[in-house]
Structure 1
Amino acid sequence: MIRTVHTSALDGTVLAAARELLEVAFDGELTAEDWEHCLGGLHVLAYDGEELIGHAAIVQRRLLHAGRALRAGYVEGVAVRADRRRRGVASALMGEVETIVTRAYDLGALGSSDEGLPFYLGRGWRAWTGTLRAFTPDGLVDTPEELGWILVRGDGLDLDGDLVCDWRDGDVW
């Protein structure tokens, strides 16, 4: 079963279970900032009975592209419990995410891992090939190390152009 709910409607037990799922899925590399990036938007949760087996979050961010501030549905914290992988759970999560992105945002964006890249590309997400930058407290900073890992979904995007993200603690993308 897939359930979509805003962070504000989740109780502490569900949030703790989601965070634990992500910590295990990311081999203990989930930082406090990574978890913070998942909060304040929608959580798409996959359940088997009462058991949480998958998670994805969509948070709103502003991305600048082609002279416009675009409302982006930024995807964070996509994970499926290891013993439930390769059974369509991630596809079900992302199907819901992609519907939300299409209906509510100018574009979708995400930062992929090595493992996730073929999955997202196979679903029609496209790698940004132009310049990536971030607004930081020190001004506009290039982030070329993110090229190939920042994926987008949406119409009318010049993938060879500039894409600028807003500032946040931790990984800006």
Structure 2
Amino acid sequence: MTDLLVTHTADLGHPDLTAARALLDEVFEGDFSDEDWDHSLGGVHVLLREGRELIGHGSIVQRRLTHEGRALRTGYVEGVAVRADRRRRGHAGRIMAELERVARSAYELGALSASDEGAAFYAARGWQRWQGPTSVFAPEGVRRTEEDDDSVFVLPGTARLDRTGALICDWRNGDAW
């Protein structure tokens, strides 16, 4: 039996945060940086447990994306992972359902950057690939992020979007998207 916990970073104790970080390090095979972890904090987490073991995690944090001259309050999905030996059982779908509920209830749109492996999963859930150019508000000004053009997905909400237009994310350390 699995238990799902939806809670804010502020309400997670050290053991849960440590377990979530360890899970992400394991699932991403050492390719989950300190900046990636930092991006996952400060919002709502979805933890999936079997007994006392953490087998899945995802979070959604607030970011500002700019589109057509408007700053949009965006629920940005981070750190979605399910332990390798627990995949293909619907766990990622349960985690995403909660993150999507938060995105639709609290934000103008949802957004995420998908790996090549995850793109089909998100598309099947109704996330739409951004078709226009992506950029970041970097310290030196707006900078194109061509390497991210094909990986950004949005979950439309109340914001009017032209998915062929430009989309600019706020600055943060590490990966922009």
**Could you say which TM-score interval applies, normalised by the shorter chain?**
over 0.9
Tell me which of 165, 170, 177 is aligned to 1:161. Answer: 165
Is the deviation greater in 17-26 or in 44-53?
44-53
Superposed, 1:13-162 pairs within 5 Å as 13-155=15-157, 156-162=160-166
Structure 1 residues without counterparts, runs of 5 or longer: none
Query: Identical aligned pairs, as a percentage?
Result: 54
Could you tell me how far 1:115 is from its partner in structure 2?
Answer: 1.0
The residue identity in structure 1 corresponding to 2:130 is W
Aligned with 1:12 (options 3, 14, 22): 14
Instruction: Report the aligned-residue RMSD.
Output: 0.7
**Which amino acid in the other structure matches residue 159 of structure 1?**
R
1:144, CA displacement in angstroms?
1.2
CA offset at residue 138 of structure 1? 0.9
Return the offset for 1:114: 1.2
Determine the C-alpha separation between the residues in 2 that align with 1:63 and 1:158: 13
TM-score of the superposition, structure 2-length normalised? 0.96
Instruction: Give the C-alpha shift of residue 36 in structure 1.
Output: 0.4
Offset at residue 49 of structure 1 (A):
1.7
What is the identity, as a one-letter code, of the residue corresponding to 1:166? D
Q: Runs ≥4 in structure 1, deviation > 6 angstroms?
A: none
Cα deviation 1:29-65 (Å, max 9, x = unaligned): 1101000000011101111122111000100000001
Deviations 1:87-106 (A, max 9, x none): 00000000011111001000
Letter in 1 for 2:13: D
Query: Which whole-Å CA distance do the structure 1 matches of 2:133 and 2:37 have between them?
Result: 27
Partner residue, 1:171: 175
Q: Which moved more, 1:46-55 or 1:84-93?
A: 46-55
Count of aligned positions:
173
**In 1, Cα distance between equivalents of 2:11 and 2:52:** 17
SS in 2 for 1:22: helix
State how far apart, in whole Å, the 1-side matches of 2:43 and 2:73 are.
13
- Whole-Å Cα distance in 1 between the matches of residues 102 and 52 of structure 2? 24
Residues in 2 aligned to 1:152 and 1:118: alpha-carbon distance in whole angstroms = 13
TM score, norm. by length of structure 1: 0.98
